[in-house]
Chains A and B, each alone.
Chain A
């Protein structure tokens, strides 16, 4: 079946540093990837949608310069949290949509980011 690998699964960083999270589709091509943020005991909030080879589409209220998304290939998208602050601490989840398959969303296992 479709597998999405998200790395790292957890990361602790200091305030002011940048953190990169990778999302890879291992056995399929993902033309579209989605990045979500999840606060404790809350639902997933879509941050942005990325299409391979083009700029990401950010949801309203999400800072483009802070959350840099790159989708350079059909199997890899990255989210970089720049100049991280404690309020950026959260659970980040990516999702990849299988090319030519309707409704085939596969989720990564998530990344727990803690900024100290």
Chain B
């Protein structure tokens, strides 16, 4: 079945450092890929997404490129802030008949802590 593997955390960085969180996936067909962020005690918020190969999703300075050849969707940010401290989840959903009614498959999550 489908699966998502994220780099293990926690990741601790100083403010303004460069961030990379690796994500690779295994899926049949052509999945759509997502990054979600979860702040303490809250649900998940969509950070960015990409629906086909070579698409780049971006939001709030974060970006990730859908790499089909390496089955990866690594999350990057050039300069992190303390407010970026959260748990980040990589996820995928399969496609069915041109629309996606599939469930989301999540990676294990990566805790990011940014210090001033």
Contact = CB atoms under 8 A, between A and B. Distances in A.
Interface string A40-55: 0111101001000000
Interface stretch (A11-19, A64-72, A81-89, A104-112): A104-112
Between A6, A107, A110, the greatest number of chain B beta carbons within 10 A of the residue's beta carbon is seen for A107
A85 B51 CA distance: 41
Given A46-B103, A95-B104, A103-B100, A112 B89 contact: no
B28 interface: no
A43 B108 contact: yes
Nearest to B87: A41
Contacts of A43: 89, 106-109
A6 B34 CA distance: 22
A4 B100 CA distance: 19
B45 to A, nearest CB: 7
Contacts of B32: 102-103
Contacts of B104: 34, 46, 95, 105
B46 interface: yes
Given A103-B51, A103-B93, 4 more contacts: A97-B101, A102-B32, A107-B43, A110-B42
